[in-house]
């Protein structure tokens, strides 16, 4: 599932491919599931001959700001991404939209499992789904004091809270597990029970992990080898940290959670 770093990579791809260029042609797949609230044909008509001013992102939502509204909003879902090639190249499998600029650059969004969404909004930041999102850890991470205050009355397990997009936009399963592992906080702890020192550690690790993942363009082969990410995928009996601590798995907030009971308290 693409999380904040993967979607930020998509934003950068779109920025390099289309910003400052006019959209010459738009091809849309006739998929009324992926296209949400707009017919594919209308989406295509609206974007033709528009100039892309910026590529923007909040959480897992990404949109192109055009020279006039409405603006296209993209959510990758589980299998979405952006691919850049040239006009005339074979179309990628499972493509849902292809935007071709006047210089021949082509931006395609494939979406094999059809869990992504393509929308058309007049003012994306002020409309759902973006207006329902919480803070973005890359764009506007709260201060430690603000986080302490926001957790004070929340009895939700901290892992479930981190996955709540209305709390922390863009944080998904592996990021939440990595942050809690590096913060030494058990995923089942009620958020309100965290001490100020633990909240400070959680904030610091969230910032560091997000920035590192973005800096390496979401290439997980370049994540530090000490990260839980590289060791979390084995069976319970086989998964261990580099230090030899066993990695356990449980289901929390409907997601498989990897954690290290001997480290996280």
Query: Rounded to the nearest 10 degrees, what angle do helices 196-215 and 4-18 cross at?
Result: 40
Catalytic residue among 5, 8, 40, 60: 60
Catalytic residue among 3, 8, 178, 198: 3
- The reply to whether 2 belongs to the active site is yes
- The reply to whether 60 belongs to the active site is yes
Q: Which residues contact 210 (CB under 8 A, 6 or more apart)?
A: 4, 5, 137, 138, 170, 175
E strand or H helix at 10, and its extent?
Answer: helix 4-18
- C-alpha torsion 157→158→162→163, nearest 10: -30
- C-alpha torsion 143→146→148→154, nearest 10: -130
Please state, in angstroms and rounded to a whole number, the distance separating the CA atoms of residues 146 and 137: 13
What is the three-class DSSP state of 95? Answer: strand
Please state, in angstroms and rounded to a whole number, the distance separating the CA atoms of residues 231 and 233: 6
Please state, in angstroms and rounded to a whole number, the distance separating the CA atoms of residues 72 and 202: 34
As a residue count, the chain comes to 265
Q: Which residues are catalytic?
A: 2-3, 60
């Amino acid at each position: 599932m693409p999380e904040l770093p993967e979607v930020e990579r998509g934003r950068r791809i779109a920025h390099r491919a289309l910003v400052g260029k006019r959209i010459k042609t738009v091809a849309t797949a006739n998929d009324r599931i992926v296209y949400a609230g707009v017919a594919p044909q209308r989406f295509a008509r609206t974007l033709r001959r528009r100039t892309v001013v910026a590529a923007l992102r909040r959480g897992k939502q990404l949109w192109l700001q055009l020279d006039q509204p409405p603006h296209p909003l993209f959510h990758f879902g589980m299998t979405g991404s952006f691919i850049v090639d040239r006009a005339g190249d074979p179309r990628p499998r499972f493509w849902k939209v292809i935007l071709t600029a006047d210089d021949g650059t082509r931006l395609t969004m494939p979406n094999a499992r059809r869990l992504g969404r393509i929308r058309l909004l007049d003012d994306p930041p002020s409309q759902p789904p973006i207006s329902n999102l919480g803070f973005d850890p890359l764009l506007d991470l709260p201060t430690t004091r603000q986080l302490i205050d926001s957790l004070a009355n929340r009895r939700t397990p901290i892992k479930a809270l981190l996955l709540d997009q209305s709390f922390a936009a863009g944080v998904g399963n592996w990021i939440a597990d990595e942050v809690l592992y590096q913060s030494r906080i058990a995923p089942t702890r009620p958020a309100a029970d965290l001490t100020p020192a633990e909240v400070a550690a959680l904030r610091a690790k969230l910032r560091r992990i997000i920035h590192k993942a973005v800096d390496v363009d979401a290439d997980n082969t370049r994540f530090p080898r000490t990260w839980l990410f590289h060791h979390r995928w084995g069976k319970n009996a086989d998964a261990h940290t580099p230090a030899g601590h066993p990695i356990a798995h449980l289901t929390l907030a409907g997601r498989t959670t990897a954690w290290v009971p001997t480290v996280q308290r």
